[in-house]
Amino acid sequence: MGRIGVFVDRDGTLIEERDFLRLPEGLRLIDGAAQSIRKLNQRGLVTCVISNQSGVARGLLSEGDLQSIHRRLTEELAREGAAVDRIYYCPHHPGGSVEPYVTDCECRKPKPGMMRKAERELSIDLSRSYVVGDKLVDIQAGRAVAATTILVLTGYGESSLEMSKKENVPADFVAPSIGEAVEFIIRDIDEDAKKRS
């Protein structure tokens, strides 16, 4: 049996939404985000960031810039005693302008390519895992691998909730923020463990 993974979207879920964050200095963790990741760490859950970063394909920042931003994210989490196992990102977009990133890839959410990669690299059982995000594409990516999906109402969450109702793509759980999402995950895992014992 594979490990349980928690896949967390970056912008609007873990950090404050900024349209195309380009500099590490602009990164701000959402209140309670680091403590929430720490709780997942304490439970021994594999925790990964999955993020669409089409700004690379659009020429707004380089992969090097993105690495600097992710170093800053790692440092900010570490200050609170938290860590993620991997940061996966998709730099592609079919409507981009920078080769070789102009492509309709398998990793851009709502496709589940980033999670499939984590499944292979980290021995994760996707059907027992969780996807947390503020956009419909997060929910769709989670549903594509039969994971439990959680829509947070930070970032674009409020408008995504309306869209999910219109398009009949409901999340399994709706949470005000990542803090409540993580509380739900821990409760859900504990309840499942009781049923199995």
11 is catalytic: yes
Question: What is the residue extent of each domain of the chain?
Answer: 5-196
Over 80: is that where the pLDDT of 197 sits? yes
Confidence of residue 196 (pLDDT cuts 50, 70, 90): confident
Residue 142, pLDDT score: 98
Please tell me the predicted confidence (pLDDT) of residue 62.
97
Q: What is the CATH number of domain 5-196?
A: 3.40.50.1000
Q: Quick check: 99 and 57 in contact, CB under 8 A?
A: no
| Largest Cα–Cα separation, the chain | 54
pLDDT at 19 over 90: no
The average confidence (pLDDT) of the chain is 97
Sign of the dihedral defined by the CA atoms of residues 37, 40, 45, 51, in that order:
negative
Residue 1, pLDDT above cutoff 80? no
Which one of the listed residues 9, 85, 134, 138 is annotated catalytic? 9
Say if residues 122 and 85 touch (Cβ distance below 8 Å). Answer: yes
Catalytic residue among 11, 85, 134, 138: 11
Predicted structure pTM score: 0.97
Model pLDDT, residue 70: 98
* In the predicted structure, residue 96 carries a pLDDT above the cut 80: yes
Q: Residues 149-175: pLDDT tens digits?
A: 999 999 999 999 999 999 999 999 999
pLDDT in tens, 67-93: 999 999 999 999 999 999 999 999 999
Across the range 34-56, mean pLDDT stands at 98
